[in-house]
Chains A and B, each alone.
Chain A
Amino acid sequence: MHITDILVTGEPIIYGAMVSMALVGIALFFLLTYFKKWGWLWREWLTTVDHKKIGVMYILSALLMLFRGGVDAMMMRVQLAFPDLGFLNSQHYNEIFTTHGTIMIIFMAMPFLIGLMNIIVPLQIGARDFAFPYLNALSFWSFFFGMALFNISFVIGGSPDAGWTSYTPLSGAAMSPGPGQNFYLMGLQLSGIGTLATGINLMVTILKMRAPGMKLFHMPIFTWSTLVTCFIIVFAFPILTVALALLTIDRIFGSQFFTLTGEGLPMMWANLFWMWGHPEVYIVILPAFGIFSEVIATFAKKRLFGYNVMVWSMIVIALLSFLVWVHHFFTMGAGAFVNSVFSISTMLIAVPTGVKIFNWLATLYKSKIEFTVPMLWSLAFIPSFILGGVTGVMLGMAAADYQFHNSYFLIAHFHYVLIAGTVFACFAGLVFWYPKMFGHKMNERLGKWAFWLFFFGFHVCFFPQYFLGLDGMPRRLFITNVVEWLPLNVISTVGAFGMGLGFIVFVYNVYYSFRYSERETTGDSWNGNGRTLEWATTTPVPYYNFATVPYVDEIDPYVRMKEEGKTTFEESKVKPIHMPSYTGQPFIMMAFLGLASFGLVFEWMYVAVFGLLGGVVMMIRRSFDYDDGYYVPVEEIKRTEKKARGL
């Protein structure tokens, strides 16, 4: 086989990407070698089982993917604003909207939120690590190699081009031959394993490792949102696993699940995909609700209004999320009765969501609001998200949906919920907990610049798209030289670049704050407004998290701890702390499974079998591994705490 059979050729933009990727790779290699950091990379990061470091790696990967998905979006917007320029050809356009959607949902939104959960949830419940730290590392590396596999598709083999929903029969072997669609299937499958494992891991962590006295209804609201999200993950992800596996077997081994021959049923894919896909929407929005609740309560300096109702509304949303999947394809022809049932269940979700909105407003009511950057993101979320939510109810009415379906109205709707909900929450959460992760805050002034640029850019970009949709512009359209659509498309593109600018300022802020921000001296970073246990630890957080775990019997326990002068370091109560050992096994195991997936993508069975065997050997090694971790001696804990607390 010749190299040009595998590499994508003939596209100037992709050549540019290849060259820049090669340059970045060489630069990284050179820097790591020059500063002798290879050992550091292996010892401190690639082998870590520390939930805080794994969380940081998740968030870094997610930011990288936000960049990649963002570049895809910019390219689409340029094409739509200047349709006569010939910037992209139709094939390239198809590939880009496919990778944009897949990356933003699977490799940006989820890992970003899972990264925040990784870092914050154990701190909020008073735990020293996850229930299964080894499994946590395994989850991260399965996500990482899945992401890497999906991302190399555009230079090796060609990207998938059947949309992020990958509907059959278009995505089947007959109509999409070649490796492109296999990249989608194997990349998602590999990272999906990690997501499921994280769901189980966090569930057990939350159910079994809470601080003494902390009942479920004492838990911080972000931890609650994580628990509910994990419930959805555990019951939704196996459906995706099966759907992806069936389509893979269809494509590689010639079965007939979704084919047009052999009495296969292409429409079954849409059902299976959305039976996972709709709960997936709530997997990325419920943690966002949790983050906003924490931020709003902190900067309104009040206990969250209606805590119990907030929890129950999340539980109701989670249950309803499994009962609405048909609304993604009302027009497929399921019939009036079925459409009516799913139309009503869809609209029902607006009720608990509305309850949450009113609770946030009631928390803000008559409070002394502090307008910090995380609070700005949270306040901007409320009205923006309502615009997305209300148009969602419009789409949920089956009869009206026949007009809206597959138009830009839909595109505007889900960007309004996913960006104003999830992306705003990712920024809010990252800025809010940044001092806990890195020991310094992000610069407020630059943060506000990033916020306002992104906020206005977002509305300028997506608000016109509602009207484009109502004017009849369909989604996934490559040629838009219809004169009536052009002005709004140009405005929308301007907004998209505003968002891009906001992102650049945000990333620059990471660098700027690293260089110039004041280092935190207390753990309670936001002017002493912290309410939950993560703020009770010192900054930076010691690797064992809590020297002594406080007794908790209320919501917002840190408020009372501060009043009573209590800390997480009661010298007389310090005992040796049991911690898990670092190990390189998860990295190696997932590298083998990544290789196996790569082999399957190109249908090179020897490579696939070799990778699979390597993975199995690593699992056997794990089974015989009786490493029991180690104990942190009392003296070391006392020394660390005294130094960090300036005692």
Chain B
Amino acid sequence: MAAEELKTGPLEYRTQEGQMGIMGFWIFLGAEVVLFSTLFATYAVLFGRTADAPHPGELFEPGIVLIMTFLLLTSSFTCGLAIHEMRRGSVKGLTIWMAITLALGLGFLGFEIYEFVHYAHEGATIQSSAFWSAFFILAGTHGLHVTLGIGWAILLLIQIKQRGLTNVTSRKFFIISLYWHFLDVIWIFIFTSVYLIGMVI
């Protein structure tokens, strides 16, 4: 491991350790793409197999899903602003924008939990049919990722308070921003191929 440190460029890229960490995370995101692709494929194969449970068209509502989409897309934007502030060297800006990001993420999760509970009351649970199993696991895996991301970011916010901006803390924030944007991309696919198609067909 080389410990040389570059003098210019973004903090997180200045050590070889930082560069390797970021590259490793990109490869991990590649694996995550495969993971979600498999879940999407499973969902597509099981589409329409609702057995005795309600059809998605009967349950999906555009309103709540639009609000969720709006919350998550905005959070991706504020996450970008947080990294912009980090590049400017502002711990305060980073903290504030990251906190806003997490608040929006929590809002998204709240609506998703409400939505799941609502569907369960209408008789669509993970056990009721193959289609609903696939739906809950696909959307639920995304929701679980958002939850883990929120917990992870809180740990990083504590660390930035303790240590300030260093090569290591900036790398960690940069990586979680990649993760957060990635979840946003996945949600766009869920929004279109699960909710929009589910409402139309």
A and B are interacting partners: yes
* A interface residue numbers (CB < 8 A to B): 128-129, 131-132, 196, 199-201, 203-204, 207-209, 234-239, 241-243, 245-246, 249-250, 253-257, 259, 261-265, 268, 272, 275, 578-580, 620, 623-624, 626, 629, 631
Cβ of A246 and Cβ of B42 under 8 Å apart? Answer: yes
Distance to closest chain A CB from B125 (angstroms): 9
How many residues of B are in contact with the other chain, CB < 8 A?
42
For A203, give the chain B residue with the smallest CB separation: B27
Q: Which of B26-54 contact A (CB under 8 A)?
A: 27-28, 30-32, 34-35, 38-39, 42, 45-46, 49-51
Cβ of A234 and Cβ of B31 under 8 Å apart? Answer: yes
Q: Which of B153-184 contact A (CB under 8 A)?
A: 155-156, 158-159, 163, 168
Q: CA A23 – CA B173 in complex, angstroms?
A: 51
Cβ of A624 and Cβ of B155 under 8 Å apart? Answer: yes
For A620, give the chain B residue with the smallest CB separation: B155
Q: CA A575 – CA B169 in complex, angstroms?
A: 27
Pairs across A and B, CB under 8 Å, 30 listed: A131-B20, A132-B24, A201-B24, A204-B23, A207-B23, A208-B16, A235-B30, A235-B31, A238-B31, A239-B38, A242-B39, A242-B42, A243-B38, A245-B137, A249-B126, A250-B133, A253-B126, A256-B130, A262-B128, A263-B50, A263-B51, A264-B133, A265-B45, A265-B46, A578-B1, A578-B2, A623-B156, A623-B159, A624-B155, A624-B159
Extra contacts, 9 of them, besides A131-B24, A235-B30, A256-B127 (Cβ < 8 A), are A200-B27, A204-B20, A235-B31, A245-B137, A249-B137, A257-B46, A261-B51, A275-B38, A624-B159
Distance to closest chain A CB from B135 (angstroms): 11
- B13 on interface, CB distance cutoff 8 Å: no
Cβ of A204 and Cβ of B168 under 8 Å apart? Answer: no
> Which residue of B28, B34, B168 is within 8 Å of A626 (Cβ)?
B168
For B32, give the chain A residue with the smallest CB separation: A238
- Inside 8 A of B132's CB, which chain A residues have their CB? 256
For B1, give the chain A residue with the smallest CB separation: A578
Q: CA A46 – CA B70 in complex, angstroms?
A: 48
- Inside 8 A of A199's CB, which chain B residues have their CB? 31
Q: CA A486 – CA B121 in complex, angstroms?
A: 61
Distance to closest chain B CB from A411 (angstroms): 29
Closest 10 CB pairs of A and B: A263-B49, A255-B133, A238-B35, A238-B34, A242-B38, A254-B127, A264-B130, A578-B3, A256-B130, A262-B129
Q: CA A313 – CA B59 in complex, angstroms?
A: 51
For B28, give the chain A residue with the smallest CB separation: A200
- Inside 8 A of B129's CB, which chain A residues have their CB? 256, 262-263
For B169, give the chain A residue with the smallest CB separation: A626
- B131 on interface, CB distance cutoff 8 Å: yes
Q: CA A246 – CA B41 in complex, angstroms?
A: 13
For A264, give the chain B residue with the smallest CB separation: B130
> Which residue of A208, A256, A626 is within 8 Å of B23 (Cβ)?
A208
- Inside 8 A of B163's CB, which chain A residues have their CB? 626
Distance to closest chain A CB from B46 (angstroms): 7
Given A235-B30, A249-B126, A257-B133; A262-B20 close (CB under 8 Å): no
